[in-house]
């Protein structure tokens, strides 16, 4: 089977500190040949870039998560801009709005999102968007940035109408462990209808482990459970899901393919 790509992981998480080499080995064994480690603040972004510099299969995204928006300074954004110049930084993210937790005030979240979209547009980097219970505001802000190099709505949680608007605009939808949760038939229905050419595989590890490991630590090797579920829903062979989603990720993130 062609290698699959975990387009959204948090490999800097302390939960991976003890057995990082084992986690990497299991991922490669499972056919997960590339992983994008996403930052959420300056420290984790720096950590993601360090991992990408050290390990051939790891790439990085840098950005400020909406949870951390209240703490961001102009200097931190400048620091991220410099980090983003590294050769293995393939996206700006994760950034977005989280109206579920509201850890930062919504005004600040929106302001920090706009500032980062401006930088990503200048740097010609695709963006990885976190959208939790904020679909309308995310879509309306993104509309003001038509020149972005690409948009991924990671861990997609909108309804069919939101999905259609995203597709219409050329966005990609990131799908992970939540697809396997028993109560998530809404997402399964959307995945059945969305063209495979617009889906990306992700774990968001260490969070959101797929069934039956739900609640435990997630890791890139569990990405195969997401692939299997998409294969079942679309009634297409594993191989086709792997090849197409990998081609999608290569298209938006523009990895150097010659390495693999
Ligand atoms: Zn997220
Ligand atoms: Zn994440």
Q: What is the pLDDT of residue 158?
A: 97
258 CA distance to ligand 1 middle (Å): 30
Kindly indicate the confidence band of residue 260, based on its pLDDT and cuts at 50, 70 and 90: very low
* pLDDT exceeds 90 at position 86: no
Ligand 1 center from residue 130 Cα (angstroms):
4
Does 258 score more than 80 pLDDT?
no
Could you tell me the distance, in angstroms and rounded to a whole number, from the CA of residue 203 to the centre of ligand 2? 9
Rounded to the nearest angstrom, the distance between the alpha carbon of 7 and the centre of ligand 2 is 10
Question: For residue range 145-170, what is the model confidence (pLDDT) as tens digits?
Answer: 999 999 999 999 999 999 999 999 99
**For 67-81, what is each residue's pLDDT tens digit?**
999 999 999 999 999
pLDDT digits (tens, 9 = 90+) for 13-49: 999 999 999 999 999 999 999 999 999 999 999 999 9
Cα 94 to averaged position of ligand 1 atoms, centre (Å): 7
pLDDT at residue number 1: 62
Residue 80 Cα to ligand 2 midpoint, Å, equals 17
In this structure, which long-range contacts are made by residues 166-169, counting pairs with CB atoms below 8 Å and at least 24 apart in sequence? Answer: 166/139, 167/194, 167/195, 167/198, 169/142, 169/143
How does pLDDT run across 194-243, given as a tens digit for each residue?
Answer: 999 999 999 999 999 999 999 999 999 999 999 999 999 999 999 999 99
What's the pLDDT at 2? 78
Distance 128 CA to ligand 2 centre (A): 9
Q: Is 144 left (phi over 0), alpha (psi -120 to 50) or beta?
A: alpha
Query: Of 51, 81, 75, nearest to 63 (Cα)?
Result: 81
Under DSSP, the state recorded for 41 is S
Looking at the CA of 157, which ligand is closest?
Answer: 1
Q: Which of 259, 178, 201 is nearest to 27 (CA)?
A: 201
Partners of 131 in the beta sheet? 97
Output the pTM of the full model. 0.97
Enumerate domains of the chain plus CATH numbers.
4-259 (3.20.20.140)
pLDDT digits (tens, 9 = 90+) for 88-147: 999 999 999 999 999 999 999 999 999 999 999 999 999 999 999 999 999 999 999 999
Write down the pLDDT at residue 256: 59
């Amino acid at each position: 089977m062609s290698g699959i790509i975990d387009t959204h992981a948090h490999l800097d998480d302390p939960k991976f500190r003890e057995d990082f080499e084992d986690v990497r080995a299991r991922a490669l064994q499972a056919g997960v040949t590339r992983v994008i480690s996403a930052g959420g603040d300056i420290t984790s972004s720096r950590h993601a870039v360090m991992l990408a510099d050290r390990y051939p299969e790891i790439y990085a995204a840098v950005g400020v998560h909406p949870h951390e928006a209240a703490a961001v300074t102009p200097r931190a954004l400048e620091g991220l801009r410099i980090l983003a110049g590294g050769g293995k930084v393939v996206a700006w993210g994760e950034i977005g709005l989280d109206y579920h937790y509201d850890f930062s005030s919504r005004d600040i979240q929106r302001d920090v999102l706009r500032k980062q979209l401006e930088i990503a547009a200048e740097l010609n980097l695709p963006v990885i968007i976190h959208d939790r219970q904020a679909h309308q505001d995310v879509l309306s802000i993104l509309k003001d940035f038509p020149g972005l190099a690409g948009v991924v709505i990671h861990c997609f949680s909108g309804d069919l109408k939101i999905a259609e608007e995203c597709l219409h605009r050329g966005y990609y939808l990131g799908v992970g462990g939540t697809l396997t949760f028993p109560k998530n038939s809404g997402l399964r229905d959307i995945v059945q209808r969305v063209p495979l050419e617009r889906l990306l595989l992700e774990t968001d590890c260490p969070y959101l482990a797929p069934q039956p490991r739900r609640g435990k630590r997630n890791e890139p090797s569990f990405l195969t459970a997401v692939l299997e579920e998409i294969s079942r829903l679309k009634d297409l062979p594993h191989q086709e899901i792997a090849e197409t989603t990998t081609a999608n990720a290569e298209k938006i993130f523009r990895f150097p393919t010659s390495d693999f």
